[in-house]
Amino acid sequence: MVVTRFAPSPTGYLHIGGLRTALLSYLWARRNNGKFLLRIEDTDFSRNDEAAALAIVEAFKWVGLEHDGVIEYQSSRLAIYQEYAQKLLDSGKAYKCYMSREELDALREEQMARKERAKYDNRYRDFTGTPPEGREAVIRIKAPLEGSITVHDGVKGDVVFNVEDILDDFIIARADGTPTYNFVVAVDDALMGVTDVIRGDDHLSNTPKQIVVYNALGFAIPRFFHVPMIHNHEGKKLSKRDGATDVMMYKEMGYTPEALLNFLVRLGWSHGDQEIFSMAEMLEMFDPSDINRSASVYNVEKLDWLNSHYIKNMSNDKLCDLLEFHGVMLVSHDKREILLDALKERAKTLVEMATLINEILVRPALFDEAALKKGYKEDSKAILEAFAEALKNGTELHLPSDYHHVMEVVVAQLEIGFGKIGQPLRVALMGKLSGPGLDTVMAIIGVDETLARIDALIKH
RNA sequence: GGCCCCAUCAUCUAAUGGUUAGGAUUCCAGAUUUUCAUUCUGGCCAUACGAGUUCGAAUCUCGUUGGGGUCACCA
């Protein structure tokens, strides 16, 4: 049984790096028919936990990830942590330290002055006397004094830490009785039965401390996979400053969950030359031991490319459904299929797609100056009038090919090139010089609207 | 600064010690398209540096440089 977990601290939203580790954890659990758990690390009470958890679940829902079981909140597990801290106290593997904050600070400053590593001096490690009056104790765990701790990491390999370099008897419970991070993480992961910890490699240097806790409590140590960070273009850890870090912003910007997940899974992981991965393929192929060791840079171009790929290959029903979020209602539009087929080749995002749709459906409010100059010449008026006549007198028009036929006839009659009619017509219909095929646009808006737009240009 | 991690095109990445170092994105050019976009074809561009091991190194070892992470009664 493989059990993974995603354990964010409640920051108010799910960020893109978090989604990646969540995705990888999810994939590995599902691939093994295991469990993917969600735990909120809210031992810092000053933050708003509930809203944050909801935001994460909302984002999960949007991309289609689902956690198993109930959401565990560390804030509601305090009794458990106290129990385990007490166990360590009873077995002599932890002890109370009565050093005040001021004393600790002073010690630290001395050490810094001597250019030594700031480190607790174990003064209460074997203390048996009477504790100082009126002072709340913290609980410190007895860390090994010498030797080394090796993290067997599925991504980085065996990473050896020299105990003297990095450890001291660190605090597992504060003076107010609340537990600290490295203690609760180890206790929770063990108690929740987590077998595979997949998380950012910024946690690698915490891992020896957690191993100390595992060992003291006699818990089995899980497999670790520390996945490299996602960097921005400056090569630094991705932060709010880099723009869209909130996963739900991607929905706003018109990205599809499929594209986002595909993009994230290919950051630091690959499967031969394959670029496009459906969820089913990810589930079939993903293995955390194939994750690269080096950090990767977040680049939007590839995301855009993936997004346009998924839009192109999406059914019109689904597209129609998604576009409603971006304010476009097409369910009852009779030329829906023609419209969507024409535009899904052209849009990188759903937002772009919505814009393109409106450019067709809504009569241009004004004509682009440059387009007028280039596309609406001396003879254009007469040509458009002739075309309008032909439209009125022709047979019933429905498909793009019907309109195309009328254009061909007019062009032949007037003995002009296609461009002679195409450019002014485009200005009339779209207000500018680029856009989908004119026959397609006319088929979508119909004869009456086409005539109205031609008229509007002639009279402008 | 101590400790730890990392290093292949601009970017994401591939390459049992033996390949003309491959693919993808971006960019550029051509074809298609009445336009723009799409699509197709082609092109530019990389093993950070220096030693060593080896018949042979992107790959193994050491060093250098560069980058990142982490060092709390935060998580």
- Determine the distance between A416 (CA) and B51 (C1') in angstroms: 74
Q: Which among A99, A96, A79 is positioned nearest to A88, based on CA atoms?
A: A96
Strand B near-CB residues (< 7 Å), A 69-108: 74, 99-101, 104
The residue-averaged pLDDT of A138-155 equals: 96
A240 a catalytic residue: yes
Q: Would you list the DSSP string of A23-70?
A: HHHHHHHHHTT-EEEEEE---STTS-HHHHHHHHHHHHHHHT----SP
CB atoms within 10 A of CB A145: 12
List own/partner pairs for A281-284 with CB under 8 A and 24 or more apart. A282/A27, A283/A27, A283/A30, A283/A31, A284/A31
Instruction: Please state the rounded mean pLDDT for residues A317-335.
Output: 93
CB within 8 Å of A460: residues ≥ 6 apart: A367
Confidence of residue A45 (pLDDT cuts 50, 70, 90): low
CB A420 within 8 A of CB A384: no
A182 touches strand B (CB under 7 A): yes
pLDDT(A11) > 90: no
| Mean pLDDT score of chain A | 93
ipTM of the complex: 0.95
Ranges A215-229, A232-246, A331-345: which has the least confidence: A232-246
User: What does chain A come to in residues?
Assistant: 460
On chain B, which bases lie within 7 A of the protein's CB atoms?
1-8, 11-14, 22-26, 33-39, 67-75
CATH value of A78-227 in 3.30.310.40, 3.40.50.620, 3.40.30.10, 3.40.605.10:
3.40.50.620
Average pLDDT over residues A285-312: 96
| Protein CA A294 to sugar C1' B48 (Å) | 15
Q: CA A129, CA A114: separation in Å to the nearest integer?
A: 30
CATH number of A369-459: 1.10.10.350
Tell me the C-alpha distance between A367 and A429, whole Å: 10
Question: pLDDT-based confidence at A47, cuts 50/70/90?
Answer: low
Set A35, A87, A115, A240: catalytic member: A240
pTM above 0.90, yes or no: yes
What is the predicted pLDDT for the residue at A397? 87
**3-state class of A122 per DSSP?**
coil
CB of A268 nearer than 7 A to strand B: yes
Contact residues for A7 (Cβ-Cβ < 8 A; gap 6+)? A38, A39, A40, A41, A185, A188, A199
CATH topology assigned to domain A1-68+228-313: Rossmann fold (3.40.50)
- Nearest Cα neighbor of A441 from A383, A345, A353, A356 is A356
Q: What is the mean pLDDT of residues A226-254?
A: 89
Phi, psi of A151 (to 5 degrees): -95, 120
> Is any atom of nucleic acid chain B found less than 7 Å from the CB of residue A44?
yes
Q: Where are the domains of chain A?
A: 1-68+228-313, 78-227, 315-362, 369-459
- Residue at the smallest CA–C1' distance to nucleotide B68: A236
A1-68+228-313 and A78-227 have identical folds: yes
Residues 6+ apart with CB under 8 A from A387: A406, A407, A410, A421, A425, A454
Nearest nucleotide relative to A271: CA against C1': B14
- pLDDT at position A48 is 52
d(CA A126, CA A143): 13
> Is there a contact between A197 and A4 (Cβ–Cβ < 8 Å)?
yes
For residue A206, the model assigns a pLDDT of 95
pLDDT of residue A50 exceeding 90, the answer is: no
DSSP code, position A199: E
Name every residue whose Cβ is closer than 8 Å to that of residue A175 and which is 6 or more positions away in sequence.
A136, A137, A138
